[in-house]
Structure 1
Amino acid sequence: MTEDEALAEFRAAGALLEGHFILSSGKRSANYLQCARVLMNPERASALARGLAQKLPRELRNEIEAVISPAMGGIIIGHEMGRALGVDAMFLERPEGTFELRRGFSLRKGAKVLMVEDVVTTGLSSRQAMDAARAEGAEILAEVALVDRSAGEADLGVPFYPLVQINFPVYDPEDLPPELAAIPAIKPGSRKV
């Protein structure tokens, strides 16, 4: 799946939004890709996951023993990546603010894991999720994401394979352009800032 084909799926789902958005990082943007909306259709979610799986080098795909993703945003695409790769998919939660495996999920020591995210902006959430998986004994081989909003600047410490790279301008809340400052800000994601 090409980047243009993936963006066409976002457009078809009404998931490419314009306005004034507060991102999970606390930064602001005039554009937002609502991954939950594009993933609400199972066929579309499956196709996007297959597209992501195709981004991985074959030798890496063959090593992956499990997929892990952070809740909330990564759950659906993580599940679909597990299906595309033929491995179990688990998710990490933050019941007390720190990622942890729950619900009986566990990773054996040395398990070769693929981290799956919906969107990477700064990479902080991904790094925290990877640290939690490593604390369980996992070896993180790489990360995939539907969308890289970092302009290629997120340092995840592992190879990173996004399906779409978006370079929408991102602003600090105190440094908004006038046209964005004139629009009320909304928080479309799942996390509190």
Structure 2
Amino acid sequence: MKSIEELREDLETLCILRGDFTLASGKKSNYYYNGKAAMLSGKVKIHLARALLKLAEGIDFDVVGGPAVGAVPLVEHMSIVSALEKDHTFDTFYVRSETKQHGTASSLYQAKKFNGNDTLIKNTKALIVEDTLTTGGSIQVALKAVEEIGAEVAGVLIVADRQDSDADWIRNQYDYRALFNVSNSGHLINPSAN
């Protein structure tokens, strides 16, 4: 298993792009965290899932999910690693920012129980995961979907927190944990190393 420092180095190498970028929040930045580059890397995805599962220790949850697209590979890798290495299974879900106009015309996609019931129901404890946090706009959609069902947000895990004060509401309202913070110069910092 890679150390957290080795994972930090891998993520910084694969995911931090330099230049002029407009973020999903509309804010401008001289770096961009492209988390998909790591989530799709065969050499990194399992280590990232292990690190997130370790970060989630102590949080009581039933299901894991978050906003599409950033959370989809993360929660799937976490679920597989947990089942194979910890003999602990959990279902997953994801929330699209817009409702589809075809098929089920839904924005929430989740596993079904074998009895036909949805996985995410009232009083379910949901762990929310996302690759990057800037202002919290993307994750807010997932939080709202979980809370509207009557489920409980058990915690929020972020791979890379840009430390924007516009997202303080998430940090203050939920059991919030970031694997890494991102400095103003675009370097990943392990918050537990401070």
TM range (shorter): 0.7 to 0.9
Distance of aligned partners of 1:104 and 1:67 in 2 relative to their CA distance in 1, 3 Å threshold: closer
Shift of 1:128: 2.6
| TM-score, length-scaled by structure 1 | 0.75
Residues 1:87 and 2:90 aligned together = yes
Residues 1:69 and 2:66 aligned together = yes
Matches within 5 A, 1:182-193: none
| TM-score, length-scaled by structure 2 | 0.74
Q: Which residue of 1 aligns with 2:191?
A: none
SS of aligned partner of 1:10: helix
Deviation per CA, 1:40-64: give whole Å up to 9, x if none.
1234112112112212343x2xx21
Structure 1 residue ranges (4+ consecutive) displaced by more than 6 angstroms after TM superposition: none
Contact kept, 8 Å, 1:52 with 1:162, in 2: the verdict is: no
Shift of 1:8: 1.0
Q: Which residue of 2 aligns with 1:119?
A: 132
| Greater length-normalized contact order (CA 8 Å, ≥ 6 residues apart) | 1
Q: Which residue of 2 aligns with 1:50?
A: 50
Unaligned runs of 5+ in 1: 171-193
Q: Which amino acid aligns with 1:159?
A: D
Shift of 1:12: 4.3
Quote the Cα distance in structure 2 between the aligned partners of 1:2 and 1:22: 32
Contact kept, 8 Å, 1:50 with 1:81, in 2: the verdict is: yes
Q: Which residue of 1 aligns with 2:142?
A: 129
Distance of aligned partners of 1:32 and 1:150 in 2 relative to their CA distance in 1, 3 Å threshold: same
Quote the Cα distance in structure 2 between the aligned partners of 1:103 and 1:112: 14
Aligned residues: 165
Quote the Cα distance in structure 2 between the aligned partners of 1:142 and 1:103: 18
SS of aligned partner of 2:169: coil
Quote the Cα distance in structure 1 between the aligned partners of 2:142 and 2:67: 6
Quote the Cα distance in structure 1 between the aligned partners of 2:30 and 2:5: 20
Q: Which residue of 2 aligns with 1:154?
A: 168
Unaligned runs of 5+ in 2: 83-88, 101-105, 113-117, 187-194
